[in-house]
Structure 1
Amino acid sequence: MQVDITIITVTRNDLEGLKYTAQSVIPKLTDHIRWVIIDGASSDGTADYIKSISDHLHYFVSEQDGGIYSAMNKGALHSPVDSYLIWINSGDSLLSLPIIDGKCDAYFYGVKIKENGVDKIPFIPNTFGIGSVSPCAQYFHQGFFVRRKIFLPLMYDESIGLSADMLLMLQVVKNFSCRVLPEVIALYSAEGQSNSRPLSLLLSHLKVVSKLKLSILKYITINNIFVIKCIIKSIVPFSWLVIFRTYRTEKF
């Protein structure tokens, strides 16, 4: 029996990014695979574009919300009752859609990361313990399928900030049946908030550690390079870092 899947896309003032995402999502839609779009009251023509593709959508709305995770939660609330959820946000691309056998509560797949216009080595998830909270060990929601009935009692904790998805997925790993598969199914655009707000990202990670009642000192010790990079990025203007990365790529 084929299980139902709901693809949830969150967007705000990113018309071109949404069009790019739509190119990868629409061809994969069927009676069992549905698409939900939550737009945060965009003013760049996004709302009109969404209406133009509304025949492909299970649900859509364009209205003010409380931010990205508020919108991602809203998408889950408007999804079919018995479906698996996956979040492919504006600017991301769904490379393939695997067949979910429905035997587990959640499935984790690989994700390719795109940063500064360059495709990086695909991130292939590995199983890890709840104590291994690391920016290099986390899964990505672009490769994460979870049962709606499992997700709704948890939801993305909006108070956590940029790493709310990290907390949610670690909670799922800890408490429910999961399966990890090496197939790369999505391209994640790392040009967003976490890339330009390094200090906020670090503080959000620390909130996750605290929420899970883990040792903050141990986290900082294990992830010292990440911590230092976040501090440096918060001091050096982001535009300078982009110029440096571009120069380094062209030079070497």
Structure 2
Amino acid sequence: MQPRLSVITVVYDNVKDIERTMLSVLNQTYPHIEYIVIDGDSNDGTAEVIKKYESRLAHFLSEPDRGIYDAMNKGLTLATGDYVLFMNSGDELYEPETVTEVFEASPSADIYYGETEMYDRNWKSLGQRRHEAPETFSWESFKYGMSVSHQAIYIRRSLTEPYDLRYKYSSDIDWIIKAAKKASSIVNVHMYVAKYLVGGMSKKKHLASLRERFAIFTKYYGLIPNIFNHGVIAANLAWYFFRHRRTND
């Protein structure tokens, strides 16, 4: 029996991108998708775009929230699928066959994950994320950086918990680690599964996001190992930009 997937899109005042995101979900060939859209009471026309497709949605909620993770928690509360995937406004499922191919990769995994392609505001491809998806993934995989994006990870819903609202910018990292600690089967599907629009809230509040990430990693990996791991992260970042500059010279 094919599993049911709950796809949750959260949005606030993003009339420019919401339709593109929704169509990437609604046009999937996979037949067992429960699509939930949570709008934070937008006033730029976003809700009107969503209503064009309301008959094809399992749930559409438009009301004020306390931030992106509060909105994501509302989606989780409504979800009834075997698995859950967050595809926030501006991002896309990679191809119409993506969900079908993810579940064909292996039966009954606790978590499926894949690769992400980045796009700029003009929807021009920037290529693969700097943090490539690791060949194998566990709850310890984030110690050198967030190597799997939340758009590219399908998690068995029974393993998930509400997002911790103490974190304003990086609660998705904490959420994925918690689920991965409970997982017994994690499958790399070895393909691109998502398109990611760069420049989200964690980028706009970059320093605050980095502080939260450091606190989250310290909680799970310990302070001294986390300090060492951040040295590795800094070295890898410097090497990445050095190689990138050499390539462009």
User: What is the TM-score normalised by the length of structure 2?
Assistant: 0.81
CA 44–225 in structure 1, closer or farther in 2 if over 3 Å, else same: farther
Fraction of identical pairs, as percent: 28
Which runs of 5 or more residues in structure 2 are unaligned?
238-244
Alpha-carbon shift at residue 104 of structure 1 (Å) = 2.0
Say how many residue pairs are matched.
229
Aligned to 2:35: 35
Cα distance in structure 2, aligned partners of 1:190 and 1:6: 24
Q: Does 1:107 align with 2:116?
A: no
Q: Structure 2 vs 1, CA of residues 121 and 112 (structure 1 numbering), >3 Å: closer, same or farther?
A: same
**1:115–1:225 distance in 2 versus 1, CA, 3 Å:** farther
2:29 and 2:189 map into 1 onto residues whose CA distance is 22
**Alignment equivalent of 1:210, drawn from 209, 218, 229:** 218
Instruction: Classify 1:47/1:128 alpha carbon distance in 2 versus 1 (closer, same or farther; 3 Å).
Output: closer
Structure 1 distance, partners of 2:66, 2:202, is: 17
Shift of 1:30: 5.7
Q: Which runs of 4+ in 1 moved over 6 A?
A: none
* Residue in 1 that maps onto 2:242: none
SS at match of 1:159: coil
Q: Which residue of 2 aligns with 1:127?
A: 136
- Would you say the 8 A contact 2:110–2:183 is kept in 1? yes
Q: Structure 1: which 5+ runs fail to align?
A: 231-247
Partner amino acid for 1:42?
Answer: S
**Corresponding residue number in structure 2 for 1:245:** none
Alpha-carbon separation, structure 2, partners of 1:170 and 1:127: 14
The answer to whether residue 166 in structure 2 is matched with residue 159 in structure 1 is yes
Query: Would the alpha carbon gap of residues 113 and 43 (structure 1) be closer, same or farther in structure 2, given more than 3 Å must change?
Result: same
> Residue 78 in 1 paired to residue 78 in 2?
yes
From 105, 127, 138, the equivalent of 2:147 is 138
Q: Give the superposition deviation at 1:190.
A: 1.8
Counterparts of 1:1-252 in structure 2, within 5 Å, are 1-28=1-28, 31-80=31-80, 82-95=81-94, 96-97=98-99, 98-100=101-103, 102-115=107-120, 117-122=124-129, 123-128=132-137, 130-134=139-143, 136-151=145-160, 154-177=161-184, 178-212=186-220, 214-224=221-231
- Identify the range of structure 1 (32-41 vs 169-178) with the bigger mean alpha-carbon deviation: 169-178
Q: Residue by residue, what CA displacement relative to the aligned partner does 1:137-179 show, whole Å, maximum 9, x if unpaired?
A: 432111111122221xx22112123221111212222221222
CA drift at 1:192 = 1.0
Aligned residue in 2 for 1:241: none
Which amino acid in structure 2 is aligned with residue 103 of structure 1?
Answer: S
Question: CA-atom RMSD, angstroms?
Answer: 2.6
Is the alpha carbon distance of 1:134 and 1:113 closer, same or farther for their aligned partners in structure 2, counting shifts above 3 Å?
Answer: farther
SS of residue matched to 1:166: helix
Compute the displacement of 1:113 (Å): 2.1
C-alpha distance in structure 2 between counterparts of 1:221 and 1:104, whole Å: 32
Q: Is the 8 A contact 2:19 2:50 kept in 1?
A: no
TM-score when scaled to structure 1? 0.80
What is the CA–CA distance in structure 2 between the aligned matches of 1:84 and 1:128, rounded to whole Å?
A: 18
Counterpart amino acid of 1:141?
A: H
Q: Which has the larger displacement, 112-121 or 34-43?
A: 112-121
